[in-house]
Amino acid sequence: MTKLSVNINKIATLRNARGGNTPDVIKAAADIERYGAHGITVHPRPDERHITYQDVRDLKKILKTELNVEGNPHEKKFIDLVLEVKPQQVTLVPDVLGQLTSDHGWDTLANKDFLIEMIHLFKTHGIRTSIFVDANLKMIEGAKITGTERIELYTENYARCFNTEKEKAIAPFVEAAKRANELQLGINAGHDLSLENLKFFKQNIPGLLEVSIGHALISDALYFGLENTVQMYLRQLK
């Protein structure tokens, strides 16, 4: 079964809107884990507008499954946090300062030397690495050179076109997954995956190890309840 890692950034956004500790991000993560999710994903940004660096430290203390920390390793503060906390997985994302949300993968060829250096650093500390990439065969082949264990396919293009031409939308991701499998790269995926499009994606992507889902899942939880929503997403992955 493909693993479900729930991104809890949106829960932190709600908390930070009023200050204080409501909703309790750490308790929510523990509950999501208890409801059956296989891991928790967080993306602490330099301005800490949702997940804070202290949240990451606190989560590592209580989680029983996997913690996946996303971020841009151009930020020394991010590197220091990852090396301190030692999550099970770090996902390297090429966000720029102040970016609203992730919207593109790495150019693994142009950034080859930098990625090799960062991935080596994290791997020497026993942290599994994944790098955010578009469904582009050259970028996936470049990812192999960096030494990363996994890639995370950026799925916004798939999600945007799913309702109108899902076969066309999935095609480049199928080819990307096949190439990743040939190169023995583990495959994660994330961005705008939802109850509507997740099952079709899972059924068509060979070797899909993990999906990271936040915005859609937390939004659905407003209607269906958090425990029920986690279970609904898990059923899409079976």
Q: What angle do CA 5, 209, 157 make, to 5 degrees?
A: 80
The one catalytic residue among 33, 50, 66, 70: 70
In the prediction, which pLDDT does 229 show? 98
Q: How far apart are CA 166 and CA 232, in angstroms?
A: 21
For 113-140, the pLDDT digits (tens) are: 999 999 999 999 999 999 999 999 999 9
Mean pLDDT, the chain, whole residue set: 96
Is residue 90 scored above 60 in pLDDT?
yes
For 157-191, the pLDDT digits (tens) are: 999 999 999 999 999 999 999 999 999 999 999 99
Overall pTM > 0.85: yes
The one catalytic residue among 33, 66, 191, 210: 191
Is residue 16 scored above 70 in pLDDT?
yes
Active site residue 191: yes
Active site residue 43: yes
Q: Which residues contact 140 (CB under 8 A, 6 or more apart)?
A: 108, 133, 151, 176, 179, 180, 183, 185
What angle do the packed helices 112-124 and 137-146 form, to 10 degrees?
50
Taken in order of first residue, the domains within the chain and their CATH numbers are 3-236 (3.20.20.70)
- Which residues are registered as beta bridge partners of 150? 130, 186
The one catalytic residue among 43, 66, 152, 210: 43
In the prediction, which pLDDT does 171 show? 98
- Which residues are registered as beta bridge partners of 153? 133, 189
For 35-63, the pLDDT digits (tens) are: 999 999 999 998 999 999 999 999 999 99
Active site residue 104: no
The confidence band for 20, taking pLDDT boundaries of 50, 70 and 90, is: very high
